[in-house]
Chains A and B, each alone.
Chain A
C-alpha cells in the first residue's frame, strides 16, 4: 500500500528528488506499524522530534492505513 511522508522544517533536506513540495510517496507492506515506517525514513533520530499520522499524535504501535500521511519535524520553539 502507499503512504505519504511529509518532512517539515529542517528535515526538508532529507526529501528525495521526486518529492512534491514537502511530501513523497512510499510503498509499504500492509499492516506496517508507525515505528517500522519511521525506521524507513532517512531522517536521523538523534534529536527530539514530532511524528504525526494525519496530523494527529499517534498511539504506540499504531498500524498505518492506505493513504495515511506521516509528518516528521524537529521539536522546536514556536512562533
Chain B
C-alpha cells in the first residue's frame, strides 16, 4: 500500500502483549484512514455500551494517508474512543510533530485495549529491526513518572528513550480521570476534547513515545511534489502579504465574533464582551508573542510561542488559541490576556481541555452568582471577571483537589449536582466552543447533532457564517443550513481521516466556487494512495464515516432526544447586539437534516441508507 503504511499496532495492556496487523486495503479505501478506520475498529470490536473508563473501552491513535507525506499540514492525528464526558464518541484531533513521527514508525494506527495493572508507557522505536516486533515496541513501567505534569513527563521519557522521540502523554488530570482531560503531545499540542485523557488514565497508560524514520511511499510522487509545490506557493504568497492566522494566530477571532454578537460572554448570557479589545490577537502579538510556531510541514504557522513576564502570570509556552480565549476569557468575564495565557499554560501542563474547563468555570460562576452554588463549597468567591479565581479553579480541576474534583466532571454534572443542569451550556454534555449559536444558526444544528457533542471541529460552518470562507452566509437564517451542516460534517470527516488540518484544506484544497467541494484534496489523496477517488466517491466516504459513527451512537443508546441544545439556546433570546432576539430554531432544521442524512425521524440511519454505503448493523 502507498500513502497508508497498511499496518496497525495492537497493544493489550492487560496481558502486556503487542502485535502488528495488516489493514485491509479495501477498508482503507472505503474509510480513507485516521478517524474513518478507527471508528470501524471501535464499532466492530467493542460493545458501544461499555463503560468509557473500563478496561473494555478501546483507545485508538490514528494517522491518515496524508500524514507524514509532503502534503502541506499533513501532520494530524486523531484520538478515537468512547467518551467519559458524553458517553458518545470521542474524535479528538491534534497536530504538532508527534503524528508525523508516529506514522513514520510504520504504523497507521495504534489500538490500546485492556488496562495495565501498574502505570506504563509505550515506546515504539522503529530504529530497531521491524521484523522483530518485541524489540521495536516496548511496554515500559511508568510508576516513576506518574504524578508528573506533561512537560516533566516528556523530558523524563526523552532522556530514557531517544532525544529525537516524540511524546504524547497525560498529566495529573488524565491520571485522576478528569472527564475533561486532554492528551498533550509535543508539550503544547492537545487532543483535548471529550475526556480522551481520562480514558488513557483509566488504562494506566501515562504516555506514548515514538521514533520513526520510515518514509511514507506515495503512489505518484512526481505529481504529488508538483501539486504540493503549487499549494505551498499560494499559501506563501498570502502569508507574505500578511494573513490573519500567520500574524495573529486564531487569537484574531474574538474581535470578529464580538462584532457579529456571538462571542461567548459570562457563560453565554450574551454574545458581546466589553473587554474584547484587550483579549484579541494584536494584543497577544504586541505583548506576548515570541514567534509563530508551525506544526510539522505547515506553511501557515498559526501556533503562538509566547512568554508572559508579568510576575503574577509569568510563564512560557504556546497559545492561547481563540477557543481558549473565549472559554477562559470572555465566557468567564475575564479581559486579562496575561491571565488567560497563564491559564492556558497550566491546562497544557496539567492536561486539561481549555474549552471544557473554561466553560465549566463560567458555569460555576453563574451558579454562584445566582445563589445556587455556595461559597463554602467552592472555598472562595467565584465571580465573573475574577482572573485569579479562574486560574485557581484551573489548578484545582487539574489536580482534582477541593472544588476542582467537581469541576473535573465537566459543567453538566456540576450544574446537575446543584439542581440546575440548564446552566451547563453543552450538547451531549460537552461544552460549547466559542460561537453562540443563537447568532450562528448552522452551528446550532451542528452542536445539537454532532456525534461527539458540541464541537466546531465536527463541521465548522463558522467558516461561512462568520468568516466568509469561501463566501459569507447570513448566520441568522436557517435556510439551507441543514444541507451545509451535512456537507461540512462529511468534508470534516474526510479531512480528519486524511490526516490534514482544516485551516489549509478548506481554503486551499477545496473548490470555493462549488460549495466547498474537495477537488484538490481528492487529487492529493490519489497522488498519495493511488486509490482513484473521485470528488463524489470521496464525499461518499465522508458520509460513510459519519454514518458509521452514528451507528456507534445508536448502539450506545443515543437518538433524537439527545440531538438538542440547552434551554438558553432554544428559549432565551439573545439579549443584545446583532443577534438580539434570536434563538436557535432547532426543530425546524432537524427533520430536514435527518432526511438529507438518510436517517429516520428519530435520527437512526435507515437500512436503505446503510446499504447504499456498504454498511450494516
Which A positions have Cβ atoms within 8 angstroms of B? 6, 8-10, 12-13, 21-22, 47-50, 52, 54-57, 71, 73-79
Contacts and interface: CB of A to CB of B under 8 A. Distances in A.
B323 A79 contact: yes
A13 B579 CA distance: 28
13 contacts: A8-B259, A9-B247, A9-B252, A9-B255, A22-B277, A48-B468, A49-B468, A71-B259, A74-B243, A75-B467, A75-B468, A76-B468, A77-B245
B277 A77 contact: no
A77 B474 CA distance: 17
A75 B460 contact: no
Interface in B319-335: 321-323, 326
Interface string B231-244: 00000000001111
Contacts, number: 98
Contacts of B502: 77
A48 B241 CA distance: 13
Nearest to B250: A79
B248 interface: yes
Contacts of B259: 6, 8, 52, 55, 71, 73
A52 B579 CA distance: 13
A9 B466 contact: no
B476 A75 contact: no
For chain B, what secondary structure do more than half of its interface residues adopt (helix, strand, loop), or is it mixed?
helix
A55 B261 contact: yes
Interface of B: 241-245, 247-248, 250-253, 255-256, 259-261, 277, 281-282, 321-323, 326, 434, 456, 460, 462-463, 466-476, 502-504, 506-507, 577-579
Contact of B253 (A47, A54, A79): A79
A76 B469 contact: yes
A8 B472 contact: no
A75 B472 CA distance: 8
B260 A9 contact: no
Nearest to B505: A77
A15 B460 CA distance: 30
A52 B472 CA distance: 10
A9 B578 CA distance: 20
A78 B277 contact: no
A77 B468 contact: no
B282 A77 contact: no
Given A10-B248, A77-B503, A79-B321, 12 more contacts: A8-B259, A49-B468, A52-B259, A55-B260, A55-B577, A56-B476, A57-B474, A73-B244, A77-B245, A77-B507, A79-B322, A79-B323
